[in-house]
């Protein structure tokens, strides 16, 4: 009977405090997550309600920074609650210093990769290498196919990318060796048009210039283009055909849409002039970065 009384007394005292601490930490963590979601939603809404068709670099950085701060705040809340619970349970925190040191050394050797991921994530955020909504191509350690798609989440440990097929690719930040940002500041759509050697190249150049002018005048395309598409001239020579290159500077992330539209316009223009050409090959180059080849079939 005395034991049962002691249990009830503990439950009404320290036990109740432990329950309240756990419940309070869970509610506080949920509130922080809710507040972080509200802030990121407001950032996204403000960045898309204006005239700009894409998010600004500042909006991308604010979104990613809010996600990281939210994650760090939740971890801090749970960490502090653990110390309070240990104190209410009568476990001296100072007595855990020595075992925690040994455990920390052991975990340090086993968690080197996690520490590397967190450090890499810290520099990704502070250096603004990419942010939420950026279109990226991420090369990881060991080579293989890069992770390509739209950034959906950036934390200190991982980056989540939504591929064009709808797949979510999670990449540890410490394993990233190269990032190609396809939506930073501005991008470039490059279309190589194969022209038969039997066709007058000057005539083909004039047709392509008219295609560029008409695309720049089109109300649907004008907002995506920073300047009129330019005909660079003959890029390569072959036995049966030459490649004439057309270049267009676009808003970040819009180079693929512009490239598809230009290819369709070029095919229609050449057919209207009685010229049959193979389907061209497009190259999207973001602000001087490494080219990403996109073959059209």
pLDDT of residue 93: 61
Q: What was the pLDDT predicted at 4?
A: 64
CA–CA distance, 212 with 193 (Å, rounded to integer): 13
pLDDT tens digits for the chain (297 residues)?
Answer: 566 666 566 666 677 777 888 888 889 888 988 888 888 778 767 765 444 445 566 666 677 778 778 888 888 888 888 888 877 777 766 655 556 665 565 556 556 777 788 888 888 888 888 888 788 899 988 767 888 888 888 888 889 998 888 888 999 988 899 888 887 777 888 888 888 888 888 888 888 999 899 999 988 888 888 888 888 888 888 778 888 888 888 887 788 888 899 999 988 888 888 776 655 444 444 444 433 333 332
DSSP code of residue 80: H
Answer whether 167's CB lies under 8 Å from 145's CB. no
28 Cβ contact partners less than 8 Å away, ≥ 6 residues apart: 77
Per the CB < 8 A criterion, the answer to whether 247 and 190 are in contact is: yes
This prediction's pTM:
0.53
How many other C-beta atoms lie within 10 A of the C-beta of residue 131?
Answer: 25
What secondary structure does DSSP assign to 225-281, as a single string?
A: BSS--EEEEEEEE-SSEEEEEEEEEESTT-HHHHHHHHHHHHHHHHHHTT---PPPE
Compute CA distances 241 → 18, 59, 250, whole Å.
79, 46, 28
CB 25 within 8 A of CB 77: yes
Give the Å distances, CA to CA, from 19 to 7, 26, 76, 92: 15, 11, 19, 19
Radius of gyration of the chain (CA): 28
The predicted pLDDT at position 288 comes to 41
Determine contact, residues 235/245, Cβ cutoff 8 Å: yes
Residue indicated by tokens 């109300």? 219
The answer to whether 183 touches 54, Cβ cutoff 8 Å, is yes
Task: Say what angle helices 97-110 and 112-126 make with each other, to 10 degrees.
Answer: 80
To which residue do tokens 């600004």 refer?
56
């Amino acid at each position: 009977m005395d034991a049962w009384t002691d249990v009830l007394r503990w439950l009404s005292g320290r036990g109740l405090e432990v329950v309240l601490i756990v419940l309070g930490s869970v509610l506080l963590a949920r509130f922080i997550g809710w507040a972080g979601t509200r802030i990121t939603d407001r950032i996204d809404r403000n960045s898309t309600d204006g005239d700009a068709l894409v998010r600004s670099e500042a909006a991308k950085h604010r979104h990613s920074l809010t996600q990281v701060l939210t994650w760090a705040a939740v971890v801090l809340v749970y960490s502090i609650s653990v110390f309070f619970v240990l104190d209410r349970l009568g476990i001296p925190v100072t007595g855990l210093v020595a075992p925690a040191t040994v455990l920390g050394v052991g975990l340090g050797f086993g968690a080197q990769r996690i520490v590397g991921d967190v450090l890499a994530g810290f520099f990704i955020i502070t250096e603004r290498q990419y942010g939420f909504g950026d279109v990226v191509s991420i090369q990881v350690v060991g080579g293989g196919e890069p992770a390509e798609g739209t950034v959906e989440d950036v934390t200190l440990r991982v980056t989540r990318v939504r591929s064009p097929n709808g797949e979510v690719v999670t990449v540890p930040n410490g394993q990233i060796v190269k990032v190609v940002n396809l939506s930073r500041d501005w991008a470039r759509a490059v279309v190589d048009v194969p022209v038969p050697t039997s066709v007058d190249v000057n005539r083909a150049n004039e047709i392509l210039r008219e295609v560029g002018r008409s695309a720049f005048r089109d109300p649907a395309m004008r907002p995506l283009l920073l300047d009129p598409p330019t005909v660079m001239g003959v890029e390569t020579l072959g036995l049966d055909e030459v490649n004439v290159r057309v270049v267009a500077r676009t808003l970040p992330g819009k180079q693929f849409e512009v490239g598809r539209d230009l290819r369709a316009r070029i095919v229609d223009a050449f057919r209207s002039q009685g010229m049959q050409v193979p389907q061209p090959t497009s190259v999207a180059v973001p602000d001087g970065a490494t080219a990403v080849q996109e073959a059209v079939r």
